[in-house]
Structure 1
Amino acid sequence: MAETKSHIGTQNKKGQTYTDPWKMLNEAPRKPSFYTGSEVIKEAIRRASCDVMIAYPITPQSEAAALIGELFAEGYIGDYFRGESEFAVMSQCAGAAFGGARVFTTTAGPGTMRAMENFPMWAGARLPIQMIVTCRGINSPLSIQPDTLEIAYLLNTGMLVWHAETAQDFFDWILKGYMVSEEPDVHLPLALCCDGFFVTHTKDVVNLTPTDMCLPPYDPYRSPVPCMDMECPPVRMMRDPFVMKSNYISYATHASWQQEVWAAVERSRKHTIHWLDGLIDTENADAEVMIVASGTAVSQGREAIRLLDDEGVRCGLVKVKSLRPWPGEEIREATKNAKHIFVPEFNVTGWLAKEIKATIPNSERVHAGPHVCGGMTMPPEIIVSEIKTALGLRSESLAGRGS
């Protein structure tokens, strides 16, 4: 195998220096900036050495896609274009990744659902595409507001799935996501999710790395499967005789490969822990009352904990950062002292509560809720009320809230 030359210390055409990712994200100075989540996505991609971005407009990710188009015009991205539909976008992303490009895209809600067939294909083809999912309602009647139901559909595609709480998470995790997904023993796509509008269209102070630093370029020859060339086209697998001539061998091949994809998800665990500093964060882990949440429900949980503390009720928190790989052992350890576990969610089905119930002993401790959906906000008082009701404490009616 030919020796791979390191790009660290050299510059790209924009004068950015290819920097060791660990030093860039953990040791480089940071500049506080007041940005929306969409603007933060742009700033992360400015530093990500992306080769291709493919876009299609759907609220609330359209602004991020348009801003990345500006990066293309400025010369920070190799190629940028709009697909004919969300399904087309994800198919074109696959083509670019097959060709050895570092690929980025964004989607939301119904767009995610229309493109869904592509995601298991990405995973099965071991394509380390990164996709931002700015979650929104997918049910009829139509809603463009935040709702995380689409995450439930992504959990079984073979993709890595992370759920960001804040714009700061977004900035850091986009860059760290490429470091995890491009590892040779992983090499899987990543769905980096946030709760649309709550993150994308609100402003926050985000600490950014210097603009003159960027990630090293993607090396497709570190892939566990060949990138596309004239000898290894992506359709080769479908031309091979085992598919065309032997059902038995075809079944065995595909079954073993699906197991390999999920083994790669598990192998990503050590890399995800390394880059995200653990799959979960905890506060007051010895408390008998715990809130376990992901995304912006974590922020609402923090405020609920403050309100409960004012009333003399001690409550802990588990922030779930990675959904795939799933932090089962960490959640079991963090909740081992809890008598009551509350899982607030921005969706109607309670997919996170179901995952937790399937993970921990004595799962009757899990209270699936409160739930809000279709774009409703979740006042922390609702979480407080649900906790106090479960504990047999008197809870004031919320009917007059704000009057």
Structure 2
Amino acid sequence: MATQSLVGTKNKAGQTITDPWQMMHDAERTPCFFTGSEVIKEALRRANCDIMIAYPITPQSEAAALIGELFAEGFIGDYFRGESEFAVMSQCAGAAFGGARVFTTTAGPGTMRAMENFPMWAGARLPIQMIVTCRGINSPLSIQPDTLEISYLLNTGMLVWHAETAQDFYDWILKGYIVSEEPDVHLPLALCCDGFFVTHTKDMVNLTPAEMCLPPYDPYRSPVPCMDMECPPVRMMRDPFVMKSNYISYATHASWQQEVWAAVERSRKHTVRWLDGLIEVDNPDADILIVSSGTAVSQGREAKILLEEEGIDVGIVKIKSLRPWPGEEIREVTKNAKHIIVPEFNVTGWMAREIKSTITNSERVYAGPHVCGGMTLPPEIIAADIKSLLGIKTAALAGRGS
């Protein structure tokens, strides 16, 4: 109620605090031609964010620098650079413990270096939003797009969404705060995109008015007390329970980890409402379905056009949310499909494994095609693999660099 009473008033930057549903669904939109990094900045301009903590690592560095400009303009309450990726995520936790709305960005090796913090964020029920501009994490070093790091985030207790386009990015940053800060959720969100493909290319994005902003974060709606060292799970420093009794420690951790994952499930109803479903489907009755997330969906759409020119009927399933996982939706939409194609920008095929573990008759799932280390995924490759599955001979495609 305290937050609702602020609707219609001004924040420190002079923006009008607006009902989130009205802002995201009813407000007039202006088309702008922006890179994904610029879109992150514009979303943060409207997010009523208290603090952004940054550390440079390609390809998220540009977004972090642009948000620094927002601080200079008065749209971010505080802004500073940490001394390492691990330090940034620890500092984000401190700010969130203190009741701030927190934002940060990371990528690739930075995500991996900071990984210890993410289960801590979830366990402490800190609704931090982290943009992950996915890039290669393997040696030899690559700064190019690769989604392998997403697979590491799936079991942290964070919410994980995977944006396909800059428009997704803009809308989901704002909607992400709304979902993650719900009292029955109150979890961190990793909002992922495929680095460079989204961050450094320009696209038309429809923006809400800059004079509107989200209501501020109300830490008193948190399901756990802010900075209360006498109340688990935040009693971490003085006389911690792990040093008093193994039994108390086991019981606390067992019950609380279950509560974190129950909160992930409780986010489902909010995510469905704000993202208009956990998946998006085009031509669900086709025998062949291309199922993926991120920019692999865009490549699948192009492959669909190529195949339909040859009379081959194909459907597209775009997975928006990875946590919560849309298991029921995927089972329903794929129940009659004969072939399920899962193109991915990584070598391990984590998305295909998730789908195989979800559906019956998992032999229908074709894990691929895969590209990694920054290689593009031409739609011709997806189309060729589908035709091969159907027993249709295709001309050999030239090798890379030939």
Identity percentage of aligned residues: 84
Task: Give the stretch that moved more between structures: 173-182 or 7-16.
Answer: 7-16
User: Aligned residue for 1:344?
Assistant: 343
**Counterparts of 1:152 and 1:59, CA distance in 2:** 19
SS for the counterpart of 2:5 is coil
SS for the counterpart of 1:239 is coil
Pairing 1:204–2:175 present:
no
**Counterparts of 2:334 and 2:233, CA distance in 1:** 45
**Counterparts of 1:234 and 1:290, CA distance in 2:** 43
User: Aligned residue for 2:117?
Assistant: 118
Pairing 1:37–2:11 present:
no
Pairing 1:299–2:298 present:
yes
Contact between 1:137 and 1:146, CA under 8 Å: does it hold in 2? yes
**Counterparts of 1:86 and 1:219, CA distance in 2:** 27
Query: Following TM superposition, by how much is the alpha carbon of 1:374 offset from its aligned partner in structure 2, in angstroms?
Result: 0.1
Structure 2 unaligned regions, length at least 5: none
Contact between 1:342 and 1:368, CA under 8 Å: does it hold in 2? yes
Contact between 2:135 and 2:145, CA under 8 Å: does it hold in 1? yes
Query: Following TM superposition, by how much is the alpha carbon of 1:399 offset from its aligned partner in structure 2, in angstroms?
Result: 1.2
Contact between 1:228 and 1:234, CA under 8 Å: does it hold in 2? no
Q: What value does the CA root-mean-square deviation take over the aligned residues?
A: 1.7
Query: Following TM superposition, by how much is the alpha carbon of 1:187 offset from its aligned partner in structure 2, in angstroms?
Result: 0.2
User: Aligned residue for 2:182?
Assistant: 183
User: Aligned residue for 2:105?
Assistant: 106
User: Aligned residue for 1:167?
Assistant: 166
Pairing 1:397–2:399 present:
no
Query: Following TM superposition, by how much is the alpha carbon of 1:183 offset from its aligned partner in structure 2, in angstroms?
Result: 0.3
Structure 1 unaligned regions, length at least 5: none
**Counterparts of 1:387 and 1:84, CA distance in 2:** 47
Query: Following TM superposition, by how much is the alpha carbon of 1:224 offset from its aligned partner in structure 2, in angstroms?
Result: 0.2
SS for the counterpart of 2:199 is coil
User: Aligned residue for 1:142?
Assistant: 141
TM-score normalised according to structure 2 size: 0.97
Query: Following TM superposition, by how much is the alpha carbon of 1:363 offset from its aligned partner in structure 2, in angstroms?
Result: 0.2
| One-letter amino acid of the counterpart of residue 372, structure 2 | C
Pairing 1:245–2:244 present:
yes
SS for the counterpart of 1:41 is helix
SS for the counterpart of 1:6 is helix
User: Aligned residue for 2:49?
Assistant: 50
Contact between 2:124 and 2:234, CA under 8 Å: does it hold in 1? no
Query: Following TM superposition, by how much is the alpha carbon of 1:232 offset from its aligned partner in structure 2, in angstroms?
Result: 6.8
Number of residue-to-residue matches in the alignment: 402
Pairing 1:265–2:280 present:
no
**Counterparts of 1:237 and 1:402, CA distance in 2:** 55
Give runs of aligned pairs for residues 362-381 of structure 1, distance below 5 A: 362-381=361-380
Query: Following TM superposition, by how much is the alpha carbon of 1:3 offset from its aligned partner in structure 2, in angstroms?
Result: 5.9
Query: Following TM superposition, by how much is the alpha carbon of 1:241 offset from its aligned partner in structure 2, in angstroms?
Result: 6.1
**Counterparts of 1:322 and 1:295, CA distance in 2:** 10
Pairing 1:25–2:1 present:
no
Query: Following TM superposition, by how much is the alpha carbon of 1:237 offset from its aligned partner in structure 2, in angstroms?
Result: 3.9
| One-letter amino acid of the counterpart of residue 394, structure 1 | K
Contact between 2:341 and 2:366, CA under 8 Å: does it hold in 1? yes
Query: Following TM superposition, by how much is the alpha carbon of 1:242 offset from its aligned partner in structure 2, in angstroms?
Result: 3.6
Query: Following TM superposition, by how much is the alpha carbon of 1:14 offset from its aligned partner in structure 2, in angstroms?
Result: 1.9
- Closer, same or farther: CA 249–231 of 1 in aligned 2, 3 Å: closer
User: Aligned residue for 1:383?
Assistant: 382
| One-letter amino acid of the counterpart of residue 101, structure 1 | A
SS for the counterpart of 2:132 is strand
- Closer, same or farther: CA 253–375 of 1 in aligned 2, 3 Å: same
SS for the counterpart of 2:6 is coil
Contact between 1:308 and 1:314, CA under 8 Å: does it hold in 2? yes
User: Aligned residue for 1:281?
Assistant: 280
**Counterparts of 1:299 and 1:233, CA distance in 2:** 44
- Closer, same or farther: CA 5–278 of 1 in aligned 2, 3 Å: closer
TM-score normalised according to structure 1 size: 0.97
- Closer, same or farther: CA 84–3 of 1 in aligned 2, 3 Å: closer
SS for the counterpart of 2:68 is helix
SS for the counterpart of 2:198 is coil
**Counterparts of 1:126 and 1:3, CA distance in 2:** 21
**Counterparts of 2:88 and 2:5, CA distance in 1:** 32
User: Aligned residue for 1:80?
Assistant: 79
1:315-367 CA-partner distances (Å, limit 9, x unpaired): 00100000000000000011111000000000000000000000000000000
| One-letter amino acid of the counterpart of residue 340, structure 2 | I
**Counterparts of 2:400 and 2:181, CA distance in 1:** 49
Query: Following TM superposition, by how much is the alpha carbon of 1:229 offset from its aligned partner in structure 2, in angstroms?
Result: 6.1
**Counterparts of 1:44 and 1:235, CA distance in 2:** 31
**Counterparts of 1:7 and 1:228, CA distance in 2:** 25
